[in-house]
Structures are given as structure tokens and as C-alpha cells.
């Protein structure tokens, strides 16, 4: 950083200096004394800048949020608040927020709006939804949302309306890893990163893609407690930089690496024999299955030296049970993703790290009360994504987003003509943006609830502005895991604009759709019913004061290591071999299929994260955007040379579904057969700073999914790059 560049010796600068008299300039030094009497409040609440829901303390002076501080009481966020958490203030005070309901005045995507009253917006939407229901049945409406504390109300409205078509984010994120661990252990465990001695991560870039407490614990365990980190990634990430060993694995071959590890561990009898005998089924089949996958074979597939694979396998089993093959979070990589995650789960199982300190730990849970609401009938029609037929093992309630889009476009098995979206941006979250736009264009109606003008909102007919997380009360939520916590979100200021909570928006619609009986409660009543089960004398007062309730006695280890414990699987044991997979026509043990490789002159597009951005959601935050105002495409110098591209040159990247233009970064930090770009740029919405800044990966990514879980396969696209 060249700080001297700011040094301009101009008369204007010197003259400007004379105007320093206002006491306001002393605000930082004096602010406590000044406002102590007036109003300086410290209000604990819960962050919403990403999925971690960290505990924060808002410093509010005279009704203005001055600062968001970490809440040291939280065992999950471990007394930290990341860049995004700190920048949350800007979400509130961003001048380009959606400040009142809007109704489209021009063509879709033209960006012409007229401000509307809430009654108008509700009436218009209710009328359109009713028209769709009349013509196509309730299944002709689609309700999609991303997780937030009020998502439940939005989903319930869709279900009360009678639609089977509720679709959520997991199949764009972690559906394959969740399903793989569920089918193996009957649950999705947490990983005790803090106490592990040996950690292997396949592309889980935990130091740039924060998960609490894992990210902080990874630093602690590797830097302070001398745990060893082995990291596999085609890209040199921050996690790679901090790892003890980094292997730029050939993309899509992680399963070969895992099979070879099992080959060594089982072949050399290094597995946890007693644990395997007591708690698992199918070990003999597994042993037979991995016999042929020697490290020398895996070296050919992965480009990781055989001797290293064998050594890592030995070190891993020696360190067990304090050894973990970390599951990772976003597992939407390849068509074979599910089987890769299964192999990982099995590898963890055979070294006996289940429910042990420094190993995998089933999530601690806390029970909340529930407000009794009027029950609605189950939908009559089947889901439009035909989950039962296409993904019989997957979590049905979440849907399979890409298959859903393809079926809607084909009007199979029936037409879907109205779409309600709650705080999600499918325009950028789904691959092949052109097809998402086509899906939107075939809709008779699109309604969006959001805080900022996303690209999806940009194409909507009605936009309902939501109050930000610092302006509203939410239901409480249990964050299960190693340290189960109940978190509470209370408003720290009144809404700045004419915005409402999702519950209020839903209630306004429900009233007009004659569904009020399902939403006949206030937020206070809802929260009261939730918290009354907590072992506290005055639970709500406690949550208002602390922002959270920490369950005592965690972390707990070994609760499931008893002869009586039954795992929630078909056999009641940990399933190395899965009969359920076999019965549903899938491989009962992970079978490796080498991934297709890019033809000469093409490169695999891989995606990843920066610690200061959450998906495509916070690239527009001015304090965060400043760190990377545009994205660029990473090219290895060898690749760049072959294309005649220099650092900073404008290039065109093209796949079979689209082409984009952005600048090139020529860097050693990526494999020569891959290119990389950051997510969340090249927006269409002119209300964002990102319109025309870099490019959207969604325009390039081709549609592909994992066949077992339906999870999007986001690393299966090959692109050509040329200088323009």
C-alpha cells in the first residue's frame, strides 16, 4: 500500500485545515463521556451476514448504530466478529437499500419501478397468486428461500397455500455431504477441530470460508497445539498457505485419494479393529472393495505421489482417534460428489474417531418449545422436481433446485407459473443464468422479499422490502453442534425505512389469501412459546440481556459409544456398506469414476471464497466491496502464455452456455488446467455497485448435478479463454 500517494501538497489542502473546529471531530476520543447520559446502549443480538449467526453486541448511540462488537460470551463465535459482521452496519445505512414496496413499471429486468403502498403490493400479489392457483392449482406456485430465522413463516405460507414446491438452498450447497454422512452414521456430525491432532481437508478452504468455531479452532489447533494440516486443493488458498502440506490435487479425484488411504489403512491393519467390530457393518465388503486401489494407482489419478498418500494414511491412522478427514461445507462440486463424501465418512469411521475428543462428534442439541398453529392439509400434487423418482434418498422438503428448474422449463409434470422468492438470489446462485432467466420469463408472476436489490429482485414484478437483521426481532434458533447454543435476535434500532419483517409480510399476504388462521400470532407470542422450555427462570429476559443461552456441559464425547446405542440407519450401526444405497440402485460402496478432463485449449472453472464475502450477498456492501471491487479470472502463467494474455488484460471466457468478459490475473496460485473466479460479480441490478464490475460465474456454469443427492455440480464446466 502506498500511503504517500495521498500526500498532495496543495494550497487547498492547507486551507482546508482551518475549518477544524467542530466538537464532533472529537467524537472517537470523547464519545463515552458525551453520550453516557444521553443514550449509549449495548444491545446483544445475532449477526445475519452469513450462516454462522455469530453473537454480536451493537453499540447504539442516540438511535444510531455506531459499532458491532463480538460478544465474548459465545462459545461458537469465540469472541470474534469477522469483516462481514463488522460491515453489517452498512447493510442498514446503505443508500441503495430497498426502502418501500415496489411494483414493476417497465419490462422485466428493465429496472423501472413505481413505489407502492403495502396494501397495493399485498393486494396485487395475492391476486396474482390466486389467479395462478385457479388456473394451475396450488402446485403452479413455487416458493424458494434461503435459511434465515424467519424463513419458517415464508415456507409455511407456501405450504398453507397448498403448494408442494418449496425449494431451499441445500442442493446448491451441502446436500451431498449431508446425505453421505446421514446414510453412514444416521446423522451429520460436527468435527472437533480444536482437539484434533491430524486434520485432512479436501478443498474445504476453512480459513477463507468461515465456519464457527471451526475456523478459529483450526488456527488454534495448528498454530498453538501443533496439529498437522494436510490440504488438497487445485488452488493455493489461504488455507493452503497455512497448511503443513498442500497438494494441488487434480480436480475431481479426491475419491481416489481416499480409496488409496483406505487401501493402506486396511491392508496394513491400521484400522480401529474393536470399534469397527462393535459399531459398523460391511467392513469385509469394504476391505475387498479397496484392495485394488493402491497408492500407486491413486498417484496416476490424483497427481499426489504414492509415497505421500501411504505416509498420510499411516499418520492419519496413527493419530486416530484425534484424526479427522474434515467433511467440508459446500460440497456442490461434481456429478460423483455423494460417493466422494461417503468415502470420507467411511475413512473417518474405520479409524474410530466417532464421538471421541478430537474426532467427529454427533451434534449436541437443545429443545425449544413450539407455538401450536392451525395445521394445514398436505399438498395434493407431487413435487415438480419429482424427488421421489429422481432422488429417493434425498431430503425431500428442500427440493433439488436444478432438476426443479429443468422441470419447470419443460412444464413437466405440470406448469409452474408463479414464483415467490424470500432472500435468495437464484439468478446468481444457480448455474446457467440464461436458463434461470428463461424460467423467470415463463412465470406469470414473480414476487421477491429482500433487503437489497438482488438480480432476482431486478426481474421481479413485486418487491417487498424486508427490515434488516438489526431492525427486527426474529424467532430464536438453536445452533446445534459441539457447543449447542440458543441465539436471539432483537432489534437494536427501529426500521429506518418503510420495511417489514418476513412474518409481517407473510401475514399481510395470508390475510388476503384467506389463510390468516395459520398465522394468527405475534412474534412475541411465537418467541415466548419457543423459549419457555429453556431451563431458565425468565428465559426471554435472559436472552435479551445475553443475546444467547449456552447449554451447560458441552462439548460431550462418547454418549453414543454404548452397546445399547442404535444409529439411525437401517442396520442400527455405522454403515460402511449401505444396503439402502444398493436397494435404490446406487453403489453401496464408493466406486471411483475418473472425471472428464478439459480438452486441449479448455480449462476447468473452479469456484471459491474470500473471507470478507458471503456468496453473492455481501459483495455489494461498500466496506467489503472496497477490498475487491471487481473479480478477475485467474490464469496460471503457462496458460496465460499459451493464450498471449498478460496480467490485467481483458479476456473473454466462454462455456457451452455463455460468455463473459473480465480482466485476467496471471498467478502461480492455480493449476495450469484450471481457472478460477470469485462469485458475486457482474450483477444485472443497477442498484448494486457490481453492475458491470467483473463477471458472474452463473453465466458460464453448465447445468449438472450429483445423481444421488441432486446437489449442483459446480466444478464440471470447461471454459475457453481468449484475449479481446
Q: Is 45 in the site for other proteins (CB under 8 A)?
A: no
DSSP string, 686-703: TTSTTBTSS--GGGTPPP
Which residue of 41, 51, 66, 663 would you call a contact of other proteins, by CB under 8 A? 66
- When binding is defined by CB under 8 A, the residue of 113, 124, 181, 246 that contacts other proteins is 246
- Interface residue with other proteins among 223, 538, 591, 596 (CB under 8 A) is 223
- The interface with other proteins within residues 662-701 (CB under 8 A) comprises 668-669, 672
Q: Are 661 and 695 a contacting pair, CB within 8 Å? A: yes
Are 51 and 147 in contact by the 8 Å Cβ rule? The answer is yes
List the interface residues with other proteins, window 621-640 (CB under 8 A). 622-624, 626-627, 636-637
Binder among 41, 51, 67, 137 for other proteins (CB under 8 A): 67
CA separation for the pair 563, 379 (Å, rounded): 41
From 64, 241, 434, 591, residue interacting with other proteins (rule: CB under 8 A): 241
Nearer Cβ to other proteins (219/529): 219
Name which position in 43, 47, 58, 87 contacts other proteins (CB under 8 A).
Answer: 87
Q: Applying CB under 8 A, does 28 fall inside the site for other proteins? A: yes
Pick between residue 234 and residue 252 the one whose CB is nearest to other proteins: 234
Apex 369 CA angle, 366 and 373, nearest 5 = 140
Pick the closer one to other proteins by CB: 393 or 674: 674
Which CB, 67 or 663, lies closer to other proteins? Answer: 67
Gap between the Cα atoms of 132 and 505, Å rounded: 20
**DSSP label at 656?**
S
DSSP assignments along 504-534, one per residue? HHHHHHHHHTT-GGGG-S-HHHHHHHHHTTS
Q: Is 83 in the site for other proteins (CB under 8 A)?
A: yes
Helix (H) or strand (E) holding 674: strand 674-678
Is residue 469 involved in binding other proteins (CB under 8 A)?
A: no
219 Rama class: left (phi>0) / alpha (psi -120 to 50) / beta: alpha
For residue 440, the minimal CB distance to other proteins (Å) is: 34
Cβ-based neighbour number of residue 584 at 10 Å: 14
One residue of 86, 150, 202, 560 binding other proteins per CB under 8 A? 86
Residue 498 or residue 669: which is nearer to other proteins going by CB?
A: 669
User: Quick check: 711 binds other proteins (CB under 8 A)?
Assistant: no
From 592, 612, 676, 681, residue interacting with other proteins (rule: CB under 8 A): 612
Q: How many Å is the maximal CA-CA distance in the chain?
A: 84
Burial 293-306 (b: 16+ CB within 10 A, else e): bbbebbbebbebeb
Closest to other proteins by CB, 216 vs 713, is: 216
Q: Name which of 445, 479, 475 is nearest 462 in CA terms.
A: 445
Q: Which of 478, 471, 395 is nearest to 183 (CA)?
A: 395
Would strands 548-550 and 485-487 be described as parallel, antiparallel, or unpaired?
antiparallel
| Contact (CB, 8 A) for 176 and 331 | yes
Cross-strand bridge partners of residue 40: 61
Distance between CA atoms of 704 and 685, rounded to whole angstroms? 26
Is residue 64 part of the contact set for other proteins (CB under 8 A)? Answer: no
Q: Smallest distance, Å, CB 625 to other proteins?
A: 9
Stretch that binds other proteins, among 205-213, 261-269, 359-367, 563-571 (CB under 8 A): 205-213
Say if residues 705 and 712 touch (Cβ distance below 8 Å).
Answer: yes
Please say which residue, 238 or 529, places its beta carbon nearer to other proteins.
238
Residue range at the interface with other proteins (CB under 8 A); choices 25-33, 180-188, 192-200, 455-463: 25-33
Shorter beta-carbon distance to other proteins: residue 72 or 106: 72
Cell of 510: 395470508
- Judged by CB under 8 A, the chain residues 527 through 546 that form the site for other proteins are none
Least distance CB 19 / other proteins (angstroms): 6
Options 45, 46, 215, 711; binder of other proteins; rule CB under 8 A: 215
Where does this chain bind other proteins (CB under 8 A)? 1-4, 6-7, 9, 13-21, 25-32, 66-70, 78-83, 85-87, 89, 207-208, 210, 215-216, 219-220, 223, 236, 238, 240-242, 246, 248, 611-612, 622-624, 626-627, 636-637, 668-669, 672
Amino acid at each position: 500500500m502506498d500511503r504517500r500517494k495521498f500526500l498532495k501538497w496543495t494550497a487547498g489542502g492547507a486551507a482546508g485545515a482551518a475549518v477544524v473546529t467542530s466538537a464532533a471531530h472529537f467524537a472517537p476520543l470523547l464519545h463515552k463521556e458525551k453520550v453516557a447520559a444521553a443514550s449509549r446502549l449495548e444491545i446483544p443480538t445475532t449477526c445475519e451476514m452469513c450462516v454462522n449467526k455469530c453473537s454480536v453486541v451493537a453499540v447504539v448511540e442516540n438511535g444510531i448504530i455506531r459499532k458491532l462488537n463480538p460478544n465474548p460470551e459465545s462459545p461458537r463465535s469465540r469472541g470474534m466478529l469477522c469483516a462481514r459482521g463488522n460491515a453489517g452496519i452498512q447493510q442498514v445505512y446503505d443508500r441503495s437499500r430497498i426502502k418501500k414496496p415496489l411494483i414493476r413499471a417497465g419490462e422485466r429486468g428493465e429496472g423501472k419501478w413505481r413505489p407502492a403502498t403495502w396494501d397495493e403490493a399485498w393486494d396485487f400479489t395475492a391476486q396474482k397468486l390466486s389467479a395462478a392457483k385457479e388456473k394451475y392449482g396450488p402446485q403452479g406456485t413455487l416458493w424458494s428461500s434461503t435459511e434465515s430465522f424467519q424463513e419458517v413463516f415464508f415456507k409455511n405460507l407456501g405450504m398453507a397455500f397448498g403448494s408442494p414446491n418449496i425449494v431451499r438452498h441445500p442442493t446448491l450447497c451441502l446436500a451431498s455431504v449431508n446425505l453421505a454422512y446421514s446414510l453412514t452414521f444416521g446423522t451429520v456430525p460436527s468435527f472437533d477441530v480444536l482437539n484434533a491432532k491430524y486434520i485432512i481437508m479436501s478443498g474445504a478452504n476453512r480459513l477463507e470460508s468461515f465456519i464457527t468455531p471451526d475456523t478459529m479452532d483450526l488456527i488454534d489447533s495448528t498454530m498453538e497445539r501443533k496439529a498437522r494440516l494436510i490440504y488438497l486443493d487445485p488452488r493455493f488458498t489461504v488455507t493452503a498457505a497455512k497448511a503443513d502440506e498442500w497438494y494441488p490435487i487434480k480436480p475431481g479425484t479426491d475419491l481416489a485419494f481416499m480409496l488409496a488411504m483406505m487401501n493402506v489403512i486396511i491392508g496394513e491393519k491400521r484400522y480401529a479393529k474393536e470399534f469397527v467390530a462393535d459399531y459398523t457393518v460391511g467392513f469385509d465388503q469394504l476391505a475387498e472393495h479397496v484392495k485394488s486401489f493402491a497408492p500407486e494407482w491413486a498417484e496416476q489419478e490424483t497427481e499426489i505421489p504414492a509415497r505421500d498418500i501411504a505416509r498420510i494414511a499411516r499418520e492419519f491412522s496413527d493419530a486416530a482417534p484425534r484424526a479427522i478427514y474434515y467433511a467440508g461445507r459446500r460440497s456442490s462440486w461434481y456429478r460423483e460428489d455423494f460417493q466422494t463424501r461417503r468415502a470420507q465418512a467411511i475413512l473417518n469411521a474405520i479409524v474410530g474417531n466417532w464421538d471421541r475428543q478430537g474426532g467427529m462428534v454427533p451434534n449436541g442439541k437443545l429443545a425449544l418449545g413450539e407455538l401450536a398453529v392451525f395445521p394445514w392439509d398436505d399438498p395434493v400434487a407431487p413435487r415438480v422436481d419429482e424427488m421421489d423418482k429422481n432422488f429417493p434418498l434425498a431430503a425431500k422438503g428442500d427440493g433439488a433446485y436444478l432438476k426443479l428448474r429443468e422441470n419447470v422449463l419443460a412444464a413437466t409434470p405440470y406448469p409452474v407459473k408463479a414464483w415467490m422468492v424470500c432472500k435468495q438470489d437464484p439468478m446468481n446462485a444457480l448455474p446457467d443464468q440464461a436458463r434461470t432467466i428463461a424460467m423467470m420469463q415463463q412465470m406469470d408472476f414473480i414476487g421477491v422479499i429482500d433487503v437489497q436489490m438482488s438480480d432476482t429482485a431486478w426481474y421481479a414484478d413485486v418487491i417487498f422490502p424486508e427490515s434488516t437483521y438489526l431492525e427486527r426481532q426474529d424467532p430464536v434458533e438453536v445452533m446445534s453442534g459441539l457447543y449447542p447454543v440458543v441465539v436471539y435476535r432483537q432489534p437494536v434500532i427501529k426500521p429506518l425505512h418503510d420495511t417489514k419483517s418476513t412474518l409481517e409480510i407473510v401475514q399481510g399476504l395470508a390475510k388476503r389469501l384467506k389463510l390468516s388462521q395459520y398465522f394468527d400470532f405475534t412474534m412475541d407470542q411465537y418467541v415466548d412459546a419457543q423459549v419457555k422450555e429453556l431451563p431458565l427462570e425468565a428465559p426471554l429476559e435472559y436472552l435479551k440481556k445475553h443475546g444467547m443461552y449456552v447449554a451447560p456441559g458441552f462439548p460431550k464425547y462418547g454418549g453414543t459409544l454404548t452397546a445399547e446405542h442404535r444409529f439411525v440407519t437401517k442396520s442400527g450401526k455405522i454403515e460402511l456398506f449401505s444396503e439402502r444405497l444398493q436397494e435404490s440402485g446406487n453403489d453401496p460402496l464408493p466406486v471411483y469414476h475418473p472425471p472428464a478432463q478439459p480438452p486441449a485449449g479448455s480449462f476447468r472453472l473452479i469456484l471459491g471464497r474470500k473471507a470478507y464475502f458471503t456468496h453473492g450477498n455481501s459483495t455489494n456492501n461498500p466496506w467489503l466491496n472496497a477490498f475487491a471491487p471487481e473479480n478477475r479470472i485467474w490464469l496460471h502463467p503457462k496458460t496465460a502464455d499459451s493464450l498471449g494474455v498478460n496480467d490485467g488484460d481483458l479476456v473473454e471466457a466462454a462455456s457451452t452456455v455463455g460468455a463473459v468478459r473480465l480482466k485476467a490475473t496471471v498467478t502461480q496460485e492455480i493449476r495450469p488446467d484450471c481457472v478460477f473466479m470469485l462469485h458475486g460479480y457482474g450483477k444485472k441490478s443497477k442498484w448494486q455497485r457490481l453492475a458491470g464490475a467483473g463477471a458472474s460465474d452463473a453465466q458460464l456454469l453448465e447445468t449438472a448435478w450429483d445423481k444421488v443427492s441432486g446437489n449442483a455440480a459446480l466444478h464440471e464446466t470447461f471454459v475457453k479463454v481468449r484475449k479481446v
